[in-house]
Amino acid sequence: MAQAPTDPSSAETADPEESSPNMIVYRKIEDIVTRMQDDKTGGVPIRTVKSFLSKIPSVVTGSDIVQWLMKNLSIEDAGEAIHLGSLIAAQGYVFPISDHVLTLKDDGTFYRFQAPYFWPSNCWEPENTDYAIYLCKRTMQNKARLELADYEAENLARLQRAFARKWEFIFMQAEAQVKIDRKKDKTERKILDSQERAFWDVHRPVPGCVNTTEMDIRKCRRMKNPQKVKKSVYGVTEESQPQSPVHLPSQPVRKTTKEDFRKQKSCTFLTSYTEQYVEYDPFITPAEPSNPWISDDAALWDIEMSKEPSQQRVKRWGFSMDEVLKDPVGRDQFLRFLESEFSSENLRFWLAVQDLKKRPLQDVTTRVEEIWQEFLAPGAQSAINLDSHSYEKTSQNVKDPGRYTYEDAQEHIYKLMKSDSYARFLRSNAYQDLLLAKKKVSVGKDMLASLTFLISA
């Protein structure tokens, strides 16, 4: 009987994925998750919960998971159990059924276990085309639980522009998958929809969340270039180096290329951007007033709720037009200024198109027609100025209405506002008065504080 090779180098080359740092973590998590789901050894109770006019199948509560971790892993502190559970959830093995943020809470929130098919240990590396098919499929189903979040709608618009040439193929693939899904049992479809959503929440996370599928570059480098380690007489490890760290190998001098200029330009842009926004980064500049989540001072929330914007907020509108448009107060001020100049139709059209992208599929056709009649139809009440190319393309798109029918027209109007209306808004008395008023208030407060200090002294 032939024996298997015992050479360690051949074993490593046979399956390099098993020795990767992430795979080691995945195997440990999967052992815990498998024990959680094992009813024979006292796993977490999985049940179907009845709600108003519907049932929620195969769910567990966050408190049940925390109690199981404390009992079976000998954890005494509930905070430590919640932290461990959140790390497991961040990898996608357990997920909340009604939230895109993968974290564990010690309450009655419902969670569901991920199917082994979607486990990250299967070395999934999904393409953007797969993500586009998934998002397109979600838009075809008129269900509240499958409605796209804001960041998903923006991702879909970006992918549609990137894959414009093969979007028809992507759309057909999504339609085919929807037809297959409709043949499945209702309960099974609910579970699969949530598991697929959780899979994409791991690989295309919510903005602000960490992508746990990315490999740590330092660990990869240690794997590919392991340093030799030898033990001293006293058992202290010492890393051997081929030469003194002071004498580094010299690189031959090469000519500056176009790529170097691009890198320099990118670095200059990043530096200027960082310097511009350093005042708004709480990690670098302490927030004034302080963060209510850290201190007991709720002044920040009171300021945000008030209709009067702070000086920092008004100053930020001058950075770019995007800063004005994403701030509700800035948007209102910009709209008031345009109304005073009888040219608000461009901004109202842009906002109407943004709203269209978030509408349910059943309302899209009606809303497309309403926007056309208000802004683009012959003799429209609030006609906008489009170039012939954009108008012709939009006219063709209206015949087959969708969320992105007015994409070209919206981009054209955005450029017009950026080059003309936005510059006039920054030079206007309305904006300058807001900026100066806030400066005067801050100066007055400083003088009052100084007087108070002198009197008390």
- 321-373 pLDDT, tens digit each: 999 999 988 999 999 999 998 889 999 999 999 999 999 999 999 999 999 99
Nearest 5°: phi and psi at 31? -65, -45
Query: In the predicted model, what is the mean pLDDT of residues 26-34?
Result: 93
Same domain membership, residue 29 and residue 50: yes
Instruction: Tell me if 31 is assigned to some domain.
Output: yes
Same domain membership, residue 132 and residue 112: no
- In total, the chain counts a number of residues equal to 457
- What pLDDT score does 245 carry? 46
Which tops the pLDDT comparison, 148 or 217?
Answer: 148
Same domain membership, residue 135 and residue 47: no
CATH of the domain at 343: 1.10.167.10
pLDDT tens, residue by residue, 210-261: 888 877 666 666 655 555 444 443 344 444 444 444 445 556 666 677 788 8
Torsion sign (Cα): 207, 209, 211, 216: positive
CATH of the domain at 73: 1.10.10.10
Same domain membership, residue 428 and residue 385: yes
Same domain membership, residue 153 and residue 102: no
Mean pLDDT estimate for the chain: 82
Which tops the pLDDT comparison, 260 or 67?
Answer: 67
Same domain membership, residue 414 and residue 316: yes
Same domain membership, residue 91 and residue 142: no
Nearest 5°: phi and psi at 38? -85, 110
Give the percent of the chain with pLDDT over 70: 81
- What pLDDT score does 78 carry? 92
How, if at all, do strands 110-113 and 94-96 pair? antiparallel
Same domain membership, residue 191 and residue 62: no
pLDDT tens, residue by residue, 274-316: 888 888 887 788 777 777 787 777 777 777 676 678 888 888 8
- What pLDDT score does 236 carry? 43
Which tops the pLDDT comparison, 142 or 189?
Answer: 189
| Nearest partner of 382 among 374, 390, 391, 392, judged by Cα | 374
Tokens found for residue 83: 């932290």
pLDDT tens, residue by residue, 73-99: 999 999 999 999 999 999 999 999 988
Same domain membership, residue 151 and residue 88: no
Same domain membership, residue 106 and residue 132: no
Q: Report how many domains make up the chain.
A: 3
Same domain membership, residue 392 and residue 328: yes
Domain limits at 185?
Answer: 128-203
pLDDT tens, residue by residue, 151-201: 999 999 999 999 999 999 999 999 999 999 889 898 899 999 999 999 999
Same domain membership, residue 153 and residue 42: no
